[in-house]
Amino acid sequence: MTTHVKEDALLAQAADAPEKKSVEMPVGVPGYTLQNETIEVPVTEPPVWPINKDLKYVGHTAERYDGPAKASGRARYTSDVQLPGMLYAKLVNATVPHARVVSIDTSAAEKHPGVKGVHVIQHILGPAVLRDPSLEQVRYPVVRYAGQPVAAVAAMTPYAAEEAAKLVKVQYQTLPFVVDLDKAREPDAPQVFPGAADQAGSAGGGGGPHNVPQTGNIHGPSIKRVGDYEQGLKDADVVVEGHYLTQVQTHSALETHGVVADWKPDMLTVWASTQGTASVREELAAFFRIPLSQVRVITEYMGGGFGAKFGPGNPGVVAAALSQKTGAPVRLMLDRREEHLSVGNRPSSDQRIRIGAKKDGPLTAIHLVAYGTAGCGTGAGCSGPAQNLYQYASLHTEENDVFINAGPASAMRAPGHPQGAFALEQTMDELAVKLNMDPLELRDKTDSHPVRRVERQIVRESALWKSRNPVAGASQGPVKRGIGMAQSVWYRFVNMNSAAEVRIHQDGSLEVLSAVQDIGSGIKTVMAQILAEQFGVPPAQIAVKVGDTNYPVGPNSGGSVTTLSLTPAVRDAAWQASQKFLADIAPALGSSPGDLVLVGGEVRSRSDKFQPLSFRRAAAKMSSAQISVQARRIPDYDPKNYLTYGGVDVAEVEVDTEIGRIRVKRVLSVHDCGRPMNPTQTISQINGGVIQGISYTLFEHRLLDPGYGLMVNPDLDRYKIAGALEIPDIDVRLVEAYIGQSSTDASGIGEAAGVVSIGAAVGNAVYNATGVRVRQIPMTPSVVLAALHAARQGEEMA
């Protein structure tokens, strides 16, 4: 998780102590719990927005700002950038899972006629780092996974680069390796690191705890305790336990990681496929020891990240080094195989969970012991849902990272939460069965979150839920239908490094600028909507410029921070610019600033000194060519009020019990994200979360050969991702949930959307269909049939 983002936020908040005013803000869910609350806000804040139905542009559908560019193929992604004289780089990757590099002979590669430069990697990014580096005296970084980059070449054509990369001769001294979680936990297992090692995580989160013991390959436990769980289990009327397994998933963004780096004497310019222009700039400046002011990062469009694309990473550093060496721009985009192997994944989990409860519902104890592998990194912790979804009398969670010789994990959409929710929410479902209680009712008794209460009510009233037969395995025939639900939770993280500039030009045109990158969630559109709301101009007429560190700093897009962090800065800039604008034109209109208002795209005189004037005509009266205001994010109005949000997902499945095939037929996804800024785009993200969740639950699996430590499916056919014929009917219900925290009151959606809870919702639906609980994903025919057979044998033995 993005803990360091939180720390930044707290520091920034401590430094700010502005003068306050009291305002009335809408808080709660319209139609359910909406009320006005008095909230203290800085005096400089713009007027409070009403709820969405009373706004014109914000909270309503606006066409995706860059939709036409994307639909026409004009959108230029990093992989599309071609510069004069640009070279193509190709990595040389380790072919063994664990080894010391004895020598690297680049002479043959250098002689290749197309080659302009060769780079040998001296410092590898990604894997955990030894606490005591002196334990390893090596000339080159130790290879800890097959596919770890070792060197790179830059050549005039992609084919020349590919050929030359093959000419680099690397001599390895191979070391014993382990790629299996269970084997890696054995006392005599090969050691991935010769001592304790920690991984830092990225600007998007991920990484694991640092101050934990390490025994062999086991980095942990990291323990959290609330109360006495042993007593809690004794106090329980019912205890439910289970053993749950989840696999390693890769992000598999369609655009691979990569950059085009152009190193000039006074400026390093990098086009990067990244979720954080800021993170790429900061880490390149630090790596090469050059000032931030001499690094420019550009991300016009990026083809998916899902948590894996922060900082320059090895491709970014290598491309920059090669550009420095050759004096030419260098393009380094990973190929599909490299993308699977070396730039992150969602860690696996092996969870043993126990929940104790009173017979009327309240939880007396949650006990979770989890192991998981983040490869040669850390970040397999998955106890977030156990800690944060329900009220409990006691809690004990233990998280352990198990090192194996595989590529390091990175943050992936709601790190740890799909894994954790898969176990927790199936266990809660099992508890409801044991208590003979409706699963929604059990949550009503154990989950006090006011918005999820509303969301459960929406589920309860839905036709889908009403069609659920509470008796498991009741349907006849080999194909059985079932319905299940599960909940999700995510957290409100604010990235204070969020700023925007708004410019008003004399011709009445408007611009908004921020270094923030649009990773597909649609922040460009939302920025345009905010200006539209302020100036009364349609969003399509606003010029939105993002994805360039030449603009005011923008947040890194990880942990669902972008919209909630940046939009208040955009709105504040727009508001302040409008006030400056009115003050500027007042003399020319023979009026005073206090007399002027900007409403519905018109400048009006409160005292009717003149006929309402269109914004464009008013802009012509500006005293200079441009009015510009830059604003930065101010802290949440009530930062002590640490907020979570989430949703409730319902899945309907059909299980063909003869072949173990599960089809998800329908999904109802009820979610909150503060003030939805553009419901259409928000629904797109929730659809995506649901679909990624289904894909994770049923199909995806990174497979490493145990004998050789190599991935056998580093492609997009044997690595199976849900396609058009696997998509259920998805019914998204967006719940407006006002929380009174900022001038836009937006929240995030990317993490909580579907992806956290759908696995457990499917698992619970499979139980409802068959009476058999499948505790392992992906739920392939092999896994499902094994569970059905085991249950049948259990019945026969009983």
Could you say which residues in the range 318-377 bind other proteins, by CB under 8 A?
335-336
| Cα end-to-end distance, the chain, whole Å | 45
**Contact range with other proteins by CB under 8 A, out of 454-462, 602-610, 677-685, 764-772:** 677-685
- Residue 25 Cβ, how far from other proteins at the closest point, in Å? 29
Residue whose CB is less far from other proteins, 94 or 437: 94
Residue 685 near other proteins by CB under 8 A? yes
Residue whose CB is less far from other proteins, 6 or 663: 663
Phi-psi region at 421: left, alpha or beta (left = phi > 0; alpha = psi -120 to 50): alpha
- Residue 109 Cβ, how far from other proteins at the closest point, in Å? 13
- C-alpha 754: how far from chain center: 12
Residue whose CB is less far from other proteins, 162 or 595: 162
- Of 311, 301, 331, 308, residue with least CA distance to 319: 331
Residue whose CB is less far from other proteins, 328 or 374: 328
Residue 527 near other proteins by CB under 8 A? no
- Mark residues 692-731: x for contact with other proteins by CB under 8 A, - for none: x--x--xx---x-xxxx-x-xx-xxxx-xxxxxxxx-xx-
Q: Which of residues 765-794 bind other proteins (CB under 8 A)?
A: 780-782, 785-786
- CA-derived radius of gyration, the chain: 27
- Mark residues 274-313: x for contact with other proteins by CB under 8 A, - for none: ---------------------------xxxx-x-------
Residue whose CB is less far from other proteins, 292 or 479: 479
**Contact range with other proteins by CB under 8 A, out of 345-353, 463-471, 570-578, 689-697:** 689-697
Q: What's the angle, vertex CA 575, arms to CA 572 and CA 581, rounded to 5?
A: 135
Q: Which of residues 480-519 bind other proteins (CB under 8 A)?
A: 519
Gap between the Cα atoms of 642 and 188, Å rounded: 44
- Classify 587 as helix, strand or coil: helix
CB 593 within 8 A of CB 523: no
Q: Which of residues 378-437 bind other proteins (CB under 8 A)?
A: none
Q: Which of residues 464-483 bind other proteins (CB under 8 A)?
A: 479
CB 748 within 8 A of CB 685: no
Gap between the Cα atoms of 404 and 564, Å rounded: 37
- Of 528, 494, 485, 483, residue with least CA distance to 509: 528
Residue 684 near other proteins by CB under 8 A? yes
Give the amino acid at 483: I
- Residue 505 Cβ, how far from other proteins at the closest point, in Å? 23
Residue 83 near other proteins by CB under 8 A? yes
Give the amino acid at 522: G
Identify the residue whose tokens are 């003030």: 675
Number of residues that bind other proteins (CB under 8 A): 99
Residue 75 near other proteins by CB under 8 A? yes
**Contact range with other proteins by CB under 8 A, out of 35-43, 80-88, 577-585, 590-598:** 80-88
- Residue 526 Cβ, how far from other proteins at the closest point, in Å? 13
Q: What's the angle, vertex CA 217, arms to CA 215 and CA 223, rounded to 5?
A: 60
Q: Where are the alpha helices (DSSP H) in 359-416?
A: 384-388
- Residue 286 Cβ, how far from other proteins at the closest point, in Å? 28
- Residue 746 Cβ, how far from other proteins at the closest point, in Å? 18
Residue whose CB is less far from other proteins, 212 or 722: 722
- Of 588, 421, 617, residue with least CA distance to 508: 617
Gap between the Cα atoms of 343 and 334, Å rounded: 9
- Mark residues 206-235: x for contact with other proteins by CB under 8 A, - for none: ------------------------------
Tokens describing residue 168: 């680099």
Tokens describing residue 230: 């042993």
Q: Which long-range contacts (CB under 8 A, 24 or more apart) does 457-462 make?
A: 457/32, 458/648, 458/670, 458/733, 458/735, 459/485, 459/648, 459/650, 459/668, 459/670, 462/650, 462/668, 462/731
Among 4, 70, 358, 666, binds other proteins (CB under 8 A): 70
Identify the residue whose tokens are 């000039």: 264
**Contact range with other proteins by CB under 8 A, out of 1-9, 31-39, 641-649, 653-661:** 653-661
Q: Which of residues 174-193 bind other proteins (CB under 8 A)?
A: none
